[in-house]
Amino acid sequence: MIYTLKTMQVYSCVSSIKIVDNKIYTLNTGNVLNIFSKKSFAELAKHILIQDSSQRHLYDKTYAISSNMYFYASKYSDKGGSLFLLKDDKIIEKAYLDFHDEPVSVSTFSNNSQLLAIGGEDGKVFFYDLNFEKSIFSFNPRSDAISSISFSKNDKFTCVAAYDKSIIIYNILSNKKIREVELSDAVEDSIFLDNSLKIIGITRDKKLFLYDEERVETLKYSDFEFRSWPSVIIEIGYKHLLVATRSDILYLINSETLEITKEIILTNIGVKTLAIDEDSLYIGYIDGSIEVIDTMSGYKEFELNLKINKFDVATSLIEKNSFLLAFEVALKYDTIWEQVLDMAKTHILKKDEEKALKLVKPFFFDKKKEQEYNFLNANKNDISHFVELVKSEKDILAFRFADEIKHLKNTKEYATIEKRWQRVYQTCKLMFEKENTESSQKAINTLKRYAVIASKRKEIDNLIKNYKNFITAYKLVKARSFKLYFLLVKKRPFLAEEELYNKVNQIGYQTYLKLLDFENKEEFEKATAIAKYLLDFTDFAEKATEHIELIKLKSELQKSIDNDDIGAVYDIVNSTLRLENYKPFINYHKKFNNKRVKALEFAKNGKTEDVYALLIEYLTIEYLINSIALVFKLSYLSEMKNVAETNFDFIHWIKTLERYNLIYGLDNEILSFAKEFKLEELLAKYRSKYEDKDFKNSVFYDSIVVFL
């Protein structure tokens, strides 16, 4: 089921793996960094980061590796941890980070390797900036220890989970909390899908969950539970996930359907960490072994055989390498299955089960497909009788038989008689539309023959009793009087069950697509005209209203951009956050982002006057205020540190700290600063309660320091 290239062994539980520049970097719970060649798997180097003989938890999450060769490790039960840098084949301890009041519980680097997130048993999370070499912000403490932290692919968002059975999503760039979501249990691990706010994760009660902030706060769980405690989740291949467990099972899961594609049995137990690159999977176990698996083994042959429909050969390759199912080409097993099952049914009805089984057997790695075939085979007598009725065009008998044997309604033959019935039904409607007694009576007589079918009785009675309404509806649609048509449907709800209703809605949908196209092209007059036209369509009226308002705002926003009216631009976007993705705004916003980058450089050195001068025109902009507040905070902390190291006795620390407290409160960063310079007593009078700060009424200073 898997093709193992190599298994290496290190001293203790493998806690983190990173692949960079053809080298495999591993950190284990013995605080040892091992480096292997990706080509030969030979050990290239070994560095002991921390001398610590303490027994670590096998599933310890306090180790992290960045792609730019930073490493984080901590001693057992330590409230802090050390940050190391590998440079010129030498390990340098860059800093000891002791932000927490309780032991560190989890750490991870952002995808761009700029931030190190550290969570603790005290419920706090600190974000240490590798460029600034300090904690630049922290999140308010949770009621329980932090269990996992993940970053979105663009590093704009983070998902922080705790043992209080919840996750909190934060926008890092704006320093804002987006949402708190309660789950069934504590999260072991989570990831962001794409560049969206779609989060998928695994919980301690053996569940897989998906939360999508962009789809009206949607939270859903998979229909299955893992057979063993899940330990880590990653993305793999095309729209697939890989979930490892504390046992010997790996789960290959479709990320769209949340269904298991394949259970993969390993030769070892206790997976602690996973890493993947373009052709290999790296598994770190609790016993210190590192298994390297070739995920591409047999791929070209697999692709070729699928192309020419040699499913038996393709499936034999899956048996050697289960990861082939994670590739896009494997979708063919799903797209062709209905056709294959239909061919198998033909063979079964001819009493040639051997040929039928030969056709479908290569698909039986998917248990759902095997069950479908077994069900088909077990009900072959009913199916045979039904097929014969349909062939003989004994449709009324066929419908009545299908009403008794429900599964027959999922067959191709049922679709055939349904199509024939629709022709009869539409013909009768046309007869009624002639509005003469003879044709109407002929239609009634035809329909009454079908009234013995239980599943059609309501539909037939409706048409006979209400044919005048059907005629009116048809005439209104033909005249394209959609407003009157939908008013009629509202009064006569049974009309919504008609095929005509679906056709009208399809017209609405196609019109809506035109609206989106014109809106994207910024042809706002045409888009608005279409939106107003869609107001007559019940199912699209709400969307049309939204777009009319959105187009109006886009026009106003464009005018404000053209006039370089900073306040108006950001006020409009702040009122409707959907406009954040409007291209003219994205381009306009670059001006602020560029200034913010420059301001951060000044902030790093505590040059608050320069920060203030750069950002002064944005200080009253509510949309930007959290982001600006973070820049000033970094600058204030650097400025205070500079003067504390050079002119400590000349500073009015009470007033300086009071200024800081008025803006930021008693946050973790000022507490760390006070601890470093022995100023804790001066902070005692300030509030110690953590809050989500609102900075819109804050006054920012061009210098936080007050001299005596």
pLDDT of 258-276, one tens digit each? 999 999 999 999 999 999 9
**Residue-number span of the structural domain to which 463 is assigned:** 379-481
The answer to whether residue 438 sits within a structural domain is yes
**Spatial contact of 293 and 323, defined as CB atoms under 8 Å apart:** yes
From 21, 13, 6, select the one nearest 57 (Cα to Cα).
Answer: 13
Q: What region does 112 belong to: left with phi over 0, alpha with psi -120 to 50, or beta?
A: alpha
Q: Which amino acid is at 422?
A: Q
Average pLDDT for 47-56:
84
The answer to whether residue 303 sits within a structural domain is no
pLDDT of 368-377, one tens digit each? 999 999 999 9
**Spatial contact of 324 and 298, defined as CB atoms under 8 Å apart:** yes
Question: What is the pLDDT at residue 52?
Answer: 79
pLDDT of 145-171, one tens digit each? 999 999 999 999 999 999 999 999 998
In this structure, the answer to whether residues 558 and 457 fall within a common structural domain is no
Interacting residues of 383 by C-beta distance below 8 A, sequence separation 6+: 345, 348, 349, 376, 408, 411
Distance CA 174, CA 588 (A): 17
**Spatial contact of 619 and 673, defined as CB atoms under 8 Å apart:** no
In this structure, the answer to whether residues 471 and 520 fall within a common structural domain is no
| Cα 679 from chain centre | 44
Instruction: Name the burial class of residue 381, with classes exposed (0-12), middle (13-18) and buried (19+) by CB atoms within 10 angstroms of its CB.
Output: exposed
pLDDT of 285-298, one tens digit each? 999 999 999 999 99
**Spatial contact of 167 and 184, defined as CB atoms under 8 Å apart:** no
Distances (CA, A) of 324 to 263, 275, 295, 328, 359: 13, 17, 7, 9, 21
pLDDT band at 690 (very low <50, low <70, confident <90, very high): very low
From 307, 333, 336, 308, select the one nearest 318 (Cα to Cα).
Answer: 333
The pair of three-digit structure tokens given for residue 46, joined into one six-digit string: 């070994």
| Cα 62 from chain centre | 25
Question: What is the pLDDT at residue 667?
Answer: 83
Question: What is the pLDDT at residue 197?
Answer: 85
Interacting residues of 178 by C-beta distance below 8 A, sequence separation 6+: 157, 169, 170, 171, 197, 213
The pair of three-digit structure tokens given for residue 179, joined into one six-digit string: 């949402």
From 230, 226, 266, 232, select the one nearest 249 (Cα to Cα).
Answer: 266
Question: What is the pLDDT at residue 217?
Answer: 58
The answer to whether residue 588 sits within a structural domain is yes
In this structure, the answer to whether residues 678 and 606 fall within a common structural domain is yes
β-pairing, 260-265 vs 249-254, is antiparallel
**String of DSSP letters for 326-344:** GSGGGGHHHHTHHHHHHHH
Which segments within 43-121 are labelled E, that is strand?
43-48, 64-65, 70-73, 81-87, 90-97, 104-109, 115-120
In this structure, the answer to whether residues 14 and 87 fall within a common structural domain is yes
The answer to whether residue 537 sits within a structural domain is yes
- pLDDT surpasses 70 at 61: yes
The pair of three-digit structure tokens given for residue 600, joined into one six-digit string: 């951060």
The pair of three-digit structure tokens given for residue 611, joined into one six-digit string: 């920060």
In this structure, the answer to whether residues 34 and 133 fall within a common structural domain is yes
Q: Cα 49–53–59 angle (5° rounding)? A: 80
The pair of three-digit structure tokens given for residue 107, joined into one six-digit string: 């750490």
Distance CA 113, CA 65 (A): 9
pLDDT band at 142 (very low <50, low <70, confident <90, very high): confident
Q: Comparing 671 with 608, which gets the higher pLDDT?
A: 608
Distance CA 425, CA 444 (A): 11
Last residue of a domain, one of 97, 121, 141: 141
Domain at 59, CATH number: 2.130.10.10
In this structure, the answer to whether residues 557 and 591 fall within a common structural domain is no
CA torsion angle 567 573 574 578 (round to 10)? 180
- pLDDT surpasses 80 at 55: no
Question: What is the pLDDT at residue 77?
Answer: 83
Distance CA 71, CA 64 (A): 6
pLDDT of 541-592, one tens digit each? 999 999 999 999 999 999 999 999 999 999 999 999 889 889 999 999 999 9
Neighbours of 668 (CB within 10 A): 20
In this structure, the answer to whether residues 542 and 472 fall within a common structural domain is no
- The pTM score is 0.84
The answer to whether residue 542 sits within a structural domain is yes
Q: What percent of the chain has pLDDT over 90?
A: 82
In this structure, the answer to whether residues 63 and 113 fall within a common structural domain is yes
Average pLDDT for 587-604:
95
The answer to whether residue 540 sits within a structural domain is yes
Beta bridge partners of 166: 162, 182
The answer to whether residue 702 sits within a structural domain is no
When mean pLDDT is compared across 173-182, 209-218, 237-246, 347-356, the lowest value belongs to 209-218
**Spatial contact of 95 and 82, defined as CB atoms under 8 Å apart:** yes
In this structure, the answer to whether residues 16 and 112 fall within a common structural domain is yes
Distance CA 77, CA 178 (A): 31
426-432 contact pairs (CB < 8 A, 24+): 426/499, 428/463, 429/463, 429/467, 429/470, 429/471, 429/474, 432/463, 432/467, 432/470, 432/471
Helix segments in 150-262, DSSP class H: none
pLDDT of 616-646, one tens digit each? 999 999 999 989 999 999 999 999 999 999 9
Mean pLDDT of the chain: 93
The answer to whether residue 454 sits within a structural domain is yes
Compute the radius of gyration of the chain from its Cα atoms.
33
In this structure, the answer to whether residues 587 and 648 fall within a common structural domain is yes
Question: What is the pLDDT at residue 688?
Answer: 47
In this structure, the answer to whether residues 592 and 522 fall within a common structural domain is no
pLDDT of 177-222, one tens digit each? 889 999 999 999 999 997 778 999 999 999 999 999 877 558 999 9
41-47 contact pairs (CB < 8 A, 24+): 41/5, 41/6, 41/8, 41/292, 43/8, 45/89, 47/86, 47/91
In this structure, the answer to whether residues 10 and 135 fall within a common structural domain is yes
**Spatial contact of 265 and 2, defined as CB atoms under 8 Å apart:** no
The pair of three-digit structure tokens given for residue 507, joined into one six-digit string: 């017209």
Total tally of structural domains belonging to the chain: 4
**Spatial contact of 140 and 161, defined as CB atoms under 8 Å apart:** no
Neighbours of 404 (CB within 10 A): 9
Q: What is the 3-state secondary structure (H, E, C) of 250-298?
A: EEEEECCCCCEEEEEECCCCCEEEEEECCCEEEEEECCCEEEEEECCCC
Beta bridge partners of 45: 35
